[in-house]
Structure 1
Amino acid sequence: MLPIIFADMTTHPRSTDRKTAAKTLRQFRQWHRTVSLIAGIVLLVVSLTGLLLGWKKHSGGLILAKTQTGVSADLRTWMPMDSLHQIAVRTLRDSISADLSPALDRIDARPQKGIVKFVFADHYWGIQLDASTGRVLLLERRTADWIENLHDGSLFDKWLGTDNEAIKLVFTTLAGLGLLILTLSGFWLWYGPRRMRS
């Protein structure tokens, strides 16, 4: 079906019958409508979450919590990482919930700020500690991470426990191909009538 449509695109307007050109436009309109229905929801999610992620640093702490400042940026004064980790896990259990998994996604050290962030793998909580004293500076709900996981589709892999980020792959493929097809068919819907008139 597509090779026929694209063959019609390359045909010189004078040699193309008006009925064939009109039929081609109808086919493109149908493709455009079908892809719009399928990809529209995915593209809506991607665009809205992309907008939120673009504004995360300017959201006044609603999307991205402010990075706190510790007492010292001198690494020689910092506590050992395993001690800081123990404090973070204890804080997670005592201050948030004993039922949450302490498995780590990453440890984000900020030497210039004198802090260490502990980001957990199985939920969207994070803890910022003063790297020198071990004092808890902030318990943060990591909304930006949740939005980012929704943006790329990996949130559904987490919820459903799928391997190899299968849903993320399908989600990003639908978004990318959907946008590409909508762009090409939309261009042809704009250009086609002008081509027929010439």
Structure 2
Amino acid sequence: MSIAVSQDLPGADSVEDIFRIEYRPSANVYQVRFNNGQGVQMDVSTGKVLSTNPDYSTFLITLHDGTFFGDWYRYSILTMTGLSLILLSFSGYYMFGYPLYKRLMANKRKS
């Protein structure tokens, strides 16, 4: 952690700024991700810094789950969107599935 913090990245001044540390055994590297969207990749055995780059995956994850816009968006807009999708599923069944079910039952009574 001290090697990652010592890279003089903007907004990555202390250990508290670390968002996540990932270990990739196939490459034998640590990927340290900071809260500000920066990332440091380093070799496990030597501690040598392999790359410092912006971390776009964290941005994409926060955009996808709604935390990028804030809790108001996450808990209000996404909740309403989920409820409307459930309502659309039920109304779609009623418009398509119920008449089909009635038609099948009517044909079954005739035979």
Q: Does 1:175 align with 2:81?
A: yes
Q: Does 1:152 align with 2:65?
A: yes
Q: Does 1:119 align with 2:33?
A: yes
User: Which residue in the other structure is 2:20 paired with?
Assistant: 106
Alpha carbons of structure 1 residues 175 and 115: separation in structure 2 relative to 1, 3 Å: same
Query: Which consecutive residues of structure 2, in runs of 5 or more, have no partner in the other structure?
Result: 107-111
| TM-superposed deviation, 1:120 | 0.7
Between the two proteins, the alignment pairs up a number of residues equal to 100
Moved segments of 4+, more than 4 Å: 191-196
Distance 2:94 2:52 in 1: 52
User: Which residue in the other structure is 1:88 paired with?
Assistant: 4
- Summarize the alignment of residues 12-23 of structure 1 with structure 2, pairs less than 5 Å apart: none
Alpha carbons of structure 1 residues 184 and 124: separation in structure 2 relative to 1, 3 Å: same
Q: TM-score, normalised by structure 1?
A: 0.43
SS in structure 2 opposite 1:137? strand
Q: Does the CA-based 8 Å contact 1:153-1:171 persist in structure 2?
A: no
User: Which residue in the other structure is 2:56 paired with?
Assistant: 143
| TM-superposed deviation, 1:113 | 2.9
| TM-superposed deviation, 1:150 | 1.1
Structure with more strand by fraction: 2
Q: Does the CA-based 8 Å contact 1:152-1:171 persist in structure 2?
A: no
Could you report, residue by residue, the CA deviation over 1:158-187 in whole angstroms, capped at 9, with x for unpaired residues?
xxxxxxx45323344223212111111122
Structure 2 counterpart of 1:177, which letter?
L
User: Which residue in the other structure is 2:90 paired with?
Assistant: 184
Cα RMSD over matched residues? 2.6
| TM-superposed deviation, 1:191 | 4.2
Query: Which consecutive residues of structure 1, in runs of 5 or more, have no partner in the other structure?
Result: 1-84, 158-164
Q: Does the CA-based 8 Å contact 2:5-2:12 persist in structure 1?
A: no
User: Which residue in the other structure is 1:35 paired with?
Assistant: none
Could you report, residue by residue, the CA deviation over 1:79-106 in whole angstroms, capped at 9, with x for unpaired residues?
xxxxxx2221222x2xx53xx2440112
User: Which residue in the other structure is 1:129 paired with?
Assistant: 42
Alpha carbons of structure 1 residues 148 and 171: separation in structure 2 relative to 1, 3 Å: farther
The percent of aligned pairs where both chains have the same amino acid is: 29
